[in-house]
């Protein structure tokens, strides 16, 4: 570093930092165009009832295919969208696309609940509740078919504001799920502080460890004691599903059942099922 080289407090600019920043600028620029050229698409991952193996809903996951950059994962572009202020436009696009799809499945006679991920910025967007309400209304979607996923850290940036927004959203009739539970800086107290219907258990809990079974059992029982349902994320192995069965977890998502698919693939598959 600059200091180690004895040049006092000169600001040192790492080449890797420059590269990282250049990449972010490029991503932000391409992302701005993607909304226009139709490069963004929602895919849907089934949420499966542990007991009956029936698909009870899907989670909408954003996919971006860019002619210059190729496929870019949400893990890369969501943070860029948040930093560049594009997340609100992107979030509105996602809400609209999800509600349109709910209506389409409804009309096709294969209704499905769709869960949409919200970002921290959207929770602080002043008109979010109005946005959700008008989206439901415009597509004539009964609110119970829309679920909104938030993480603890997002909801608790400003706890009172976060709780109020979620309560206003819940009052519309949509359900709220707490995403990635137990994987961030979380406090168990939030489980009773926020107006939730479902808790999504982070996939880290299902990774092999000597105490895995007891830990998962304890958490699922605790969540049940609060009258909330559990959705386990990232289920890849049959023994993980067996554990979920043993502890009465309601629902799971994961590659063991299926990856996220296009709306058409989901539709074809629902009709065949
Ligand atoms: P998330 O909401 O926790 O979504 C679950 C992630 O786990 C998805 O990654 C999904 O493809 C992946 N996954 C599902 N099953 C398995 C499995 O069995 N094993 C493993 N290893 N992974 C599995 P994805 O699609 O790359 O999304 C990553 C994150 O990006 C999401 O985490 C969510 O936080 C964010 N994201 C995705 N779409 C949106 C969106 O429309 N809006 C916002 N604000 N964030 C989004
Ligand atoms: Mg999610
Ligand atoms: Mg998650
Ligand atoms: Mg997440």
pLDDT digits (tens, 9 = 90+) for 157-210: 888 898 999 999 999 999 999 999 988 766 777 888 899 999 999 999 999 999
Q: Is ipTM beyond 0.85?
A: yes
Structure token pair of residue 114: 């769709």
Average pLDDT over residues 215-223: 96
User: Can you tell me the distance from the alpha carbon of 70 to that of 145, in angstroms, rounded to the nearest whole number?
Assistant: 33
Q: Where residue 156 falls among pLDDT bands split at 50, 70, 90?
A: confident
* 11 pLDDT more than 60: no
Phi-psi region of 140 (alpha: psi -120 to 50; beta: other; left: phi over 0): left
Say what the pTM is: 0.93
| Protein residue closest via CA to atom 33 of ligand 1 | 117
DSSP state of 243: H
Structure token pair of residue 119: 């970002």
Cα(75) to centroid(ligand 2), Å: 12
Stronger pLDDT, 99 or 17, i.e. the higher one: 99
User: Can you tell me the distance from the alpha carbon of 218 to that of 3, in angstroms, rounded to the nearest whole number?
Assistant: 49
Ligand 1: which residues within 6 Å by Cβ? 45, 61-62, 73-75, 78, 94, 117-119, 149, 179-180, 203, 233-236, 253-255, 260
Angle between helices 238-246 and 212-225 (to 10 degrees): 40
Structure token pair of residue 10: 């000169």
Residue 136 contacts residue 104 (beta carbons within 8 Å): no
Stronger pLDDT, 11 or 132, i.e. the higher one: 132
Across the strands, what pairs with 59? 45, 115
Closest ligand 1 atom to residue 202 Cα is: 3
| Residues 6 or more apart whose Cβ sits within 8 Å of residue 68 | 30
- How far from 68 is each of 43, 60, 87, 116, 149, CA to CA, in Å? 21, 24, 21, 27, 31
Q: Where residue 4 falls among pLDDT bands split at 50, 70, 90?
A: very low
Ligand nearest to the CA of 47: 1
> What is the chain's Cα-based Rg?
20
- How far from 222 is each of 188, 191, 199, 247, CA to CA, in Å? 10, 10, 11, 11
User: Can you tell me the distance from the alpha carbon of 44 to that of 258, in angstroms, rounded to the nearest whole number?
Assistant: 10
């Amino acid at each position: 570093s600059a200091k180690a080289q004895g040049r006092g407090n000169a600001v040192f600019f790492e080449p890797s930092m420059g590269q990282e920043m250049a990449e972010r600028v490029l991503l932000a620029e391409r992302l701005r165009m993607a909304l226009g050229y139709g490069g963004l698409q929602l895919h849907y991952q089934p949420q499966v009832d542990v007991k009956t193996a029936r698909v009870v809903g899907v989670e909408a996951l954003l996919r971006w295919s860019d002619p210059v950059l190729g496929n870019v994962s949400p893990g890369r572009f969501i943070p860029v969208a948040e930093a560049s202020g594009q997340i609100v436009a992107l979030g509105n696009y996602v809400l609209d696309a999800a509600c349109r799809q709910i209506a389409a499945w409804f009309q096709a006679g294969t209704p499905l609940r769709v869960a949409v991920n919200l970002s921290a910025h959207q929770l602080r967007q002043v008109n979010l509740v109005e946005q959700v309400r008008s989206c439901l209304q415009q597509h004539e979607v009964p609110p119970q078919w829309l679920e909104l996923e938030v993480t603890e850290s997002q909801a608790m940036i400003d706890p009172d504001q976060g709780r109020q927004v979620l309560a206003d959203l819940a009052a519309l009739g949509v359900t709220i799920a707490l995403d990635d539970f137990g994987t961030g800086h979380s406090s168990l107290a939030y489980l009773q502080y926020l107006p939730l219907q479902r808790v999504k258990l982070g996939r880290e809990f299902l990774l092999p460890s000597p105490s895995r079974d007891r830990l998962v059992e304890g958490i699922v029982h605790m969540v049940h004691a609060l009258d909330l349902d559990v959705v386990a994320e990232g289920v890849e192995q049959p023994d993980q599903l067996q554990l979920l069965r043993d502890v009465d977890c309601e629902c799971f998502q994961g590659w063991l059942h299926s990856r996220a698919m296009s709306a058409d693939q989901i539709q074809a598959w629902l009709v065949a099922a």
